[in-house]
Structure formats: structure tokens, C-alpha cells
């Protein structure tokens, strides 16, 4: 990993929880009874229809605009796309986006997944849920998409390319904004239940609509799965509960509201048990010739519990026709508790392998590890949009202020953090970071054909940390406070789009963008006991892109070709040092990633629609080698058929060869060496409407999906084999 080798993320470790069959047979009938007695819309209320304008994106500029008018590369994944694929997770949908690659550590539904955009690290992608930043603060800096199912998702907006001018730190690769459903029309209840491979069962429901002018959407789902772990120990038990809600109300005339308030809430609970660990996790810098860098062993005592929640409250006020003010407040919290007890019957300490360095003997022991990490992000934002327009022009100026407070409380007690010495090490990190930012943006439209956007953001932060570490009877106390960690960051962004006059019914658009972006060091990079560096500076990425898109036959034929490039500077990398330091984190890495994205779609014609994209990307680090886990080729394709009650869809995804120099022995006792080979997978999904408009039943659907149809054997992350062929089937019931 070029951009950040700050921590070695262990495999996700999760607690064993038995699935009781009674829940599966009680929950669905109970929800159906609730559906029958669900309250109808108020008799006197007129169900206001929310007009959905296709091709409208809000993430690229923090204000709704047509995709045709933005110079950025944007992909919108709609609710219809999610239902067509019968997707269970957000990552399944992101796989089809040009320039996006997914690396999932194994085959379980909620397994940790890294999402990269155009060669970035996962912590260089800003992830939002209803506008709230949800990147974790301590465990790597990315977002675990296993925490966000698709149950109550209305759409996903993906902006490829730098966006720090609007979103500050982390937006070097781009932005992913997950937006939950807005209720509309008469109240409606949707129930679903599905089951399939890996002893997987999922059930839940969504209740949404509008009552007396208040729109709402509520959802709950539960997932139970035996999961898949590397090697023969494939009972990676998993249990999840997901909750989501959104409520909103317009104020003023129905056709021209003067204000709107809405609140959203999303929460997930996960319990995992994963029977393997890495006793040799910390010996990567001093390995005898011929031995692998790390050894993965069977260990049935690894458990992890994760809790994630985010809530956002937004008030939009329109004082005049030309002035709109938006107030937003959000709270996000991630908590992870890990418990890896000593194996039953194993002497303490269990010496795994001894290495003599001359000045000390390194005796790794079986992992005994307990930790609790809680990170919290509080955001407050004020936006002002000013709109002026004439006969052939329109100008929207945006001025905003953003405050963000990050806090982390990390505690651990282990035999691995101090290289196997006794007694076990104890660490405690408490850190707080405050960020203040002002941003400005101007969008100019001329003759409804030329669209220019220019903006910049000014960021400054302060930090305060208390660090306590005890290792081998050596107590270390440290307090670090920095009033201005990296001075003031100025990040500009420019984009342009020009629509060429229609030629024989073909619309052509030229588009391009440039931005300077940054990624501030994570708390673990700055303060984790033993290998952090509180003097680290931000990583910088300068992104540029340009391309051409076309649309013909009233949108039934479309395509795009885009060239992109990102130049990385001051990347945080491991630097070897003489003993007793061995290594440190420094801003000494530089890299580049450039490539071409080609995408197109045709249809629908007689019910058939074809879509596809291919990304050719070249990455290079300081050593001239390709960056770790960045495939040169990535392609996605789909063939869909929809007719009356039936929908059948075929999806193909493929990744080219990927460099991966991290070698180790996996839990199946096989040595993993060399690069990750090229692979492809195929998936089929189908939906059939069994009933329509029968009494209280609006629609009854049965559906199925088969993943990895041909049983391809591959690994997205070395040592974590993906599942073989998986098959699932379910039923959805829609009721008024």
C-alpha cells in the first residue's frame, strides 16, 4: 500500500452468536400482521407527490444540479438499480462504477471492504451518509461498508476525482454519498425475507409514506450468517441488526415551500467471530531469509462487536427567491470492541517462534488482545446559496462555514503490542481534533450550454492528545497539543462543461476538472503508541481530468470517455531506521495514478438494456513499480431484460493482475506469495411479480440472485479467498 502503511489492519474478528430458527419463523408473520393493521393515510390529507428529476446530483457542488451541467465525473445509483440487482450491500452496487475497485477480506456479507477510487487509498475517499461524514478516525481512516446495507437507501452518488474544495480532508479520490429514502404518497409497508448459502437468513421491512404533510421512512433488518473465513475453518459466525429512519416536513405553500426540516438516523450492530489471527503480525521488518512476513493461525477465540450510528438534522430556509440558507448538524459514532482470549489448554505464554536479534530475543506469543475503540464526529455547517439570473445566464454563489470535532478513546491490553514480552502491554489514547473551514464556490451558466464552476476551501485544525503506554514494566506518558497541525490548507477546484449543439439528434458534452486535495494524518498515524509520528503532515493529491460524453436516440444510447490523473505528494509511508527504532512513519512517498475510463449503455430496446465500462489505469510509486492492489484493468458489464412482471439481469465484473508483495501463511497452512492474478465473476439476479393489486397487497415479488455463477477461485485480498458460488432467494411483499 503506497499511500499509507500506517497500521496493519487485522482480519475482522467477530463474536459467535447462534441463529435461532424461531426468529426466522416469528418475525415475518409478525411484520405481516403489523402491515394489515397499519394506519392508513389521514382521510383529509392530499398525498403530495414528490417529483423525482432523473439525472440530478447534489454531492458534486452541494446544491442540486443536472448531471449534464457538471464538469465532474459523477455516477448516480438509483433505487431501481438496487432493486434490479437485489443487492444486499452498498459495496455490491459500487462494483459497477467506473474507476472504483473493491477489496473485500473474505466472502461473508459484512466482511470489511476497502473501496478505492482511481487508485486512491480507501482513507482518501470521503464517505457520507445523508451528508454526514462517516469515515472512521482511528482504525485506518476509511469506512466499513459492511455497516451500511441497502434496505433504506434511495440512491448513491459517486463523485470521482478530488473534492477537498467542498469536503476538506480525505476527498483526494472522490466522494461517496449514501442517501436514504424520502417517504411519499400514502403510507406503504414493504416486508422481505430471504435465505441461502452460508446458512444466511435476512428479514426486515420498510414503512414509508406521508401523513398530514409529514413524510417519513423507517426500516429494520436482521442478518444471520455462518459466513466464510480463509481455509478449512469456514464458520465465521456473523449477526447484524440495522436500523434506519428519515422524517421531514415542508413549511409554507405546497407548491412553493419556504422551509423544510428533515432528520435522519442510521444505526448498525454487528457481532463477528473469526477463527484465525496473526501471531507474527509485528515481525515484518526483521524476517529471517526464506520465512514469510506473517503467519496466520487457527484461533477460535477472536470476537468483535461493532456499533455504528449517524444522525443528521437539516433545516433549509428560503428567505427570498434568490437566497437559500441550509443549516446542518450531524453526529457519527463508531465503536469496536475486540476480545481475543488465550486458547483453552494452551500454556501461557505459548512460544510460537523465537528470533534472536543479538540485543534481545523476540518471542511472539499467541495473541491475547482486548481493545475498545470509540470515535465520534460532530459536524455543524451553514450554507448560503445566492442565485442571480438573466436572459442567457445564471449565477449561483455559495458561501459556507464548516466546524468538525473529532474525538477518539482507544484502550487495549495485549501480548502483541509489545512484541511478545511479559507482562502484556497496555495502551490508552485519548485525542481530540477541531477543524474549522470556510469555503466558497461560484457556478456560472451561459446560454444553458457552458457551465463553469470555481471554488476553494480554507482548512485549519487544532489537536490535543493524551497517550499512555505500559510495556515490559516501562510506563510512557505523553501529552501532545498542536494549535495548528499543518498550518492553513488552501484547496482550489475548477470544473467546466460545454454542451455542443445537437448534431443529427446526438448531444455531445465536453467536460473537465482540476483540484488540489489533501488527507490529514489519522489519529493512529499521529498518536498510536509505538509507531506513530505526531509531526506528520497531510498527504496531497492534485487531480485533473477531461473527457467527452454523448447521448443519442432520446437517451437510449450514451457513452463517455474520460482521462484522469492524480499526482500524490508527501505520502505517509514506513521508513526503516537503525535499531532500536527499526522504523517510523514519514511524509516521504510520492506516486501517480493515471488512466482512461470508457463507459456506455444502450437500451431499453424490446426490454433489453446493455451497460458496460472499462478502466485502464497505470500507477507508479517512487520505486517505479505499480502500487499495491491497484489493478491495471477493471471492467464491468450488465445485460438486463424487463418485461411486464419479469426482470432478469446478468452482471460481469473483472479485475486485472494486481501487485501484492505481502506474503504469509494463511489459516489453511498454504503459503501466499506473489501477485494477485486476474479474475472475473458473474452474477445473475431475477425478480418476478407473483401478485399485483390483490386486496391490501400492492405487489408480491419473489426474487433470487446467484453470485460467482461459475465458481471462480480468486482472492481480492491475499489470504482471504472469496466465496464460491452463492445462491439466495427471497420474497418481498408491498402493502398499502
pLDDT at 347: 42
Q: Tell me whether residue 15 is in a domain.
A: no
- CA-nearest of 404, 407, 418 to 373 is 407
Question: What are the tens digits of pLDDT across the range 394-448?
Answer: 999 999 999 999 999 988 876 554 444 445 567 788 888 899 999 999 999 999 9
pLDDT reading at 691 higher than 80: yes
Contact 685, 705 (CB under 8 A): yes
Q: What is the CATH number of the domain that holds 72?
A: 2.40.170.20
pLDDT at 695: 83
Q: Tell me whether residue 670 is in a domain.
A: yes
Omega of the bond prior to 349 within 30 degrees of 0, cis? yes
Q: Tell me whether residue 305 is in a domain.
A: yes
Question: What are the tens digits of pLDDT across the range 261-309?
Answer: 999 999 999 887 765 544 433 322 233 334 444 444 445 667 788 899 9
Q: Which of 125-129, 345-349, 460-464, 631-635 has the lowest mean pLDDT?
A: 345-349
Confidence of residue 464 (pLDDT cuts 50, 70, 90): confident
Q: Tell me whether residue 11 is in a domain.
A: no
Omega of the bond prior to 423 within 30 degrees of 0, cis? yes
Q: Tell me whether residue 473 is in a domain.
A: yes
pLDDT at 107: 57
Q: Which is it for the CA torsion 598, 639, 644, 49, positive or negative?
A: negative
8-state DSSP, 67: G
pLDDT reading at 17 higher than 80: no
Contact 496, 451 (CB under 8 A): yes
Question: What are the tens digits of pLDDT across the range 597-624?
Answer: 999 999 999 999 999 999 999 999 988 8
Contact 226, 236 (CB under 8 A): yes
Q: Which residue has the higher pLDDT, 12 or 313?
A: 313
pLDDT at 291: 40
Residue 148: C-alpha distances to residues 75, 77, 87, 88, 128 (Å): 19, 15, 12, 9, 11
pLDDT at 547: 96
pLDDT reading at 166 higher than 70: yes
Chain-centroid distance, C-alpha 24: 29
Q: Which of 62-66, 139-143, 459-463 has the lowest mean pLDDT?
A: 139-143
pLDDT reading at 235 higher than 70: no
pLDDT at 392: 93
Contact 660, 718 (CB under 8 A): yes
SS3 25: helix
pLDDT at 429: 83
- CA-nearest of 442, 454, 326 to 379 is 326
Residue 639, Cβ neighbours under 10 Å: how many? 15
Percent of the chain, pLDDT > 90?
Answer: 51
Residue matched to cell numbers 506473489: 674
Q: Cα–Cα–Cα angle for 9, 12, 17, nearest 5°?
A: 160
Strand-strand pairing, 73-78 and 425-446: unpaired
Spatial CB neighbours of 493, under 8 Å, sequence gap ≥ 6 = 162, 163, 164, 165, 166, 453, 454, 455, 456, 513, 514, 515, 516
Q: How many domains does the chain have?
A: 1
pLDDT reading at 124 higher than 80: yes
Task: Name the H helices within 95-167.
Answer: 164-167
pLDDT at 350: 36
Q: Which residue has the higher pLDDT, 578 or 350?
A: 578
pLDDT at 352: 39
Q: Which residue has the higher pLDDT, 445 or 342?
A: 445
Q: Tell me whether residue 526 is in a domain.
A: yes
Q: Tell me whether residue 10 is in a domain.
A: no
Question: What are the tens digits of pLDDT across the range 479-519?
Answer: 555 555 667 889 999 999 999 877 778 899 999 999 999 99
Q: Which residue has the higher pLDDT, 559 or 147?
A: 559
Region 639-649: mean pLDDT is 95
Question: What are the tens digits of pLDDT across the range 174-193?
Answer: 999 999 999 999 999 999 99
The domain containing residue 171 runs over which residues? 21-42+55-735
CA 353, CA 597: separation in Å to the nearest integer? 48
What one-character-per-residue DSSP string does 299-353 give? -TTEEEEEEEEEEEEEEEEEEETTEEEEEEEEEEEEEEEEEEPPPTT--SS-B--
Burial call 617-636: b when 16+ CB within 10 Å, e when fewer: bebbbeeeebbbbbbbebbb
SS3 290: coil
pLDDT at 670: 61
Q: Please, is 704 exposed, middle or buried when counting C-beta atoms within 10 Å of its C-beta (0-12, 13-18, 19+)?
A: middle
Residue matched to cell numbers 457552458: 450
HSE on the CB side for 317, CA within 13 Å? 8
Q: Tell me whether residue 609 is in a domain.
A: yes
SS3 216: strand
pLDDT at 338: 83
Cell numbers linked to 554: 432520446
Amino acid at each position: 500500500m503506497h499511500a499509507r502503511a500506517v497500521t496493519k489492519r487485522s482480519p475482522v474478528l467477530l463474536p459467535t452468536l447462534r441463529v435461532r430458527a424461531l426468529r426466522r419463523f416469528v418475525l415475518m408473520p409478525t411484520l405481516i400482521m403489523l402491515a394489515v393493521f397499519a394506519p392508513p393515510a389521514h382521510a383529509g390529507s392530499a398525498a403530495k407527490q414528490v417529483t423525482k428529476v432523473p439525472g440530478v446530483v447534489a454531492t458534486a457542488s452541494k446544491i442540486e444540479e443536472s448531471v449534464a451541467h457538471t464538469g465532474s465525473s459523477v455516477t448516480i445509483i438509483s433505487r431501481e438499480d438496487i432493486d434490479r440487482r437485489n443487492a444486499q450491500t452498498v459495496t455490491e452496487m459500487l462494483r459497477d462504477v467506473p474507476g472504483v475497485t473493491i477489496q473485500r477480506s473474505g466472502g461473508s456479507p459484512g466482511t470489511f471492504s476497502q473501496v478505492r477510487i482511481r487508485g486512491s487509498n480507501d482513507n482518501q475517499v470521503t464517505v457520507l451518509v445523508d451528508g454526514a461524514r462517516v469515515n472512521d478516525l482511528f482504525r485506518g481512516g476509511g469506512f466499513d461498508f459492511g455497516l451500511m446495507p441497502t434496505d433504506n437507501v434511495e440512491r448513491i452518488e459517486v463523485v470521482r476525482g478530488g473534492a477537498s474544495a467542498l469536503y476538506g480532508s480525505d476527498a483526494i479520490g472522490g466522494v461517496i454519498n449514501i442517501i436514504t429514502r424520502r417517504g411519499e404518497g400514502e403510507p406503504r409497508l414493504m416486508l422481505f425475507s430471504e435465505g441461502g448459502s452460508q446458512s444466511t437468513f435476512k428479514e426486515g421491512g420498510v414503512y414509508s409514506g406521508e401523513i398530514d404533510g409529514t413524510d417519513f421512512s423507517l426500516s429494520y433488518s436482521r442478518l444471520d450468517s455462518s459466513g466464510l473465513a480463509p481455509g478449512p475453518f469456514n464458520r465465521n459466525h456473523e449477526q447484524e441488526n440495522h436500523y434506519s429512519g428519515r422524517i421531514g416536513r415542508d413549511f409554507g405553500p405546497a407548491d412553493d415551500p419556504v422551509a423544510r426540516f428533515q432528520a435522519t438516523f442510521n444505526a448498525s450492530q454487528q457481532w463477528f467471530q473469526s477463527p484465525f489471527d496473526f501471531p507474527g503480525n509485528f515481525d515484518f521488518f526483521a524476517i529471517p531469509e526464506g520465512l514469510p512476513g506473517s503467519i496466520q493461525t487457527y484461533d477460535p477465540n477472536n470476537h468483535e462487536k461493532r456499533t455504528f450510528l449517524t444522525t443528521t438534522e437539516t433545516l433549509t430556509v428560503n428567505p427570498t427567491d434568490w437566497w437559500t440558507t441550509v443549516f446542518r448538524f450531524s453526529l457519527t459514532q463508531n465503536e469496536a470492541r475486540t476480545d481475543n482470549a488465550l486458547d483453552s489448554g494452551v500454556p501461557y505464554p505459548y512460544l510460537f517462534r523465537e528470533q534472536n536479534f543479538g540485543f534481545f530475543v523476540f518471542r511472539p506469543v499467541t495473541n491475547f488482545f482486548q481493545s475498545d475503540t470509540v470515535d465520534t464526529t460532530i459536524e455543524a455547517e451553514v450554507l448560503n446559496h445566492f442565485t442571480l439570473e438573466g436572459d442567457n445566464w445564471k449565477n449561483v454563489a455559495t458561501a459556507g462555514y464548516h466546524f468538525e470535532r473529532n474525538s477518539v478513546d482507544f484502550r487495549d491490553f495485549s501480548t502483541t503490542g509489545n512484541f511478545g514480552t511479559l507482562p502484556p502491554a497496555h495502551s490508552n489514547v485519548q485525542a481530540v481534533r477541531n477543524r474549522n473551514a470556510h469555503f466558497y464556490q461560484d457556478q456560472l451558466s451561459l446560454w444553458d450550454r457552458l457551465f463553469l464552476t470555481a471554488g476553494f476551501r480554507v482548512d485549519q485544525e487544532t489537536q490535543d492528545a493524551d497517550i499512555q503506554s505500559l510495556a515490559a514494566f516501562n510506563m510512557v506518558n505523553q501529552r501532545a497539543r498542536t494549535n495548528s497541525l499543518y498550518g492553513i490548507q488552501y484547496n482550489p477546484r475548477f470544473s467546466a462543461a460545454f454542451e455542443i449543439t445537437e448534431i443529427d439528434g446526438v448531444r455531445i458534452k465536453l467536460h473537465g476538472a482540476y483540484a488540489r486535495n489533501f488527507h490529514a494524518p489519522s489519529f493512529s498515524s499521529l498518536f498510536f503508541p509505538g509507531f506513530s509520528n505526531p509531526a506528520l503532515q497531510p498527504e496531497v493529491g492534485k487531480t485533473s481530468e477531461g473527457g467527452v460524453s454523448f447521448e443519442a436516440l432520446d437517451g437510449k444510447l450514451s457513452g463517455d470517455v474520460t482521462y484522469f490523473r492524480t499526482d500524490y505528494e508527501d505520502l505517509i509511508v514506513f521508513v526503516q531506521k537503525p535499531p532500536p527504532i527499526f522504523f517510523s512513519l514519514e511524509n516521504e512517498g510520492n506516486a501517480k495514478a493515471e488512466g482512461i475510463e470508457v463507459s456506455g449503455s444502450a437500451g431499453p430496446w424490446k426490454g433489453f438494456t446493455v451497460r458496460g465500462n472499462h478502466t485502464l489505469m497505470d500507477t507508479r510509486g517512487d520505486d517505479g513499480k505499480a502500487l499495491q492492489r491497484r489493478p491495471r484493468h477493471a471492467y464491468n458489464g450488465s445485460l438486463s431484460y424487463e418485461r411486464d412482471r419479469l426482470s432478469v439481469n446478468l452482471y460481469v465484473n473483472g479485475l486485472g493482475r494486481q501487485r501484492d508483495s505481502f506474503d504469509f501463511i494463511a489459516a489453511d497452512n498454504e503459503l501466499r506469495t506473489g501477485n494477485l492474478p486476474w479474475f472475473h465473476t458473474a452474477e445473475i439476479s431475477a425478480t418476478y411479480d407473483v401478485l399485483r393489486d390483490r386486496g391490501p397487497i400492492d405487489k408480491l415479488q419473489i426474487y433470487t440472485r446467484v453470485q460467482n455463477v461459475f465458481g471462480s477461485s480468486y482472492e481480492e485480498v491475499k489470504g482471504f479467498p472469496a466465496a464460491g458460488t452463492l445462491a439466495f432467494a427471497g420474497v418481498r411483499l408491498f402493502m398499502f
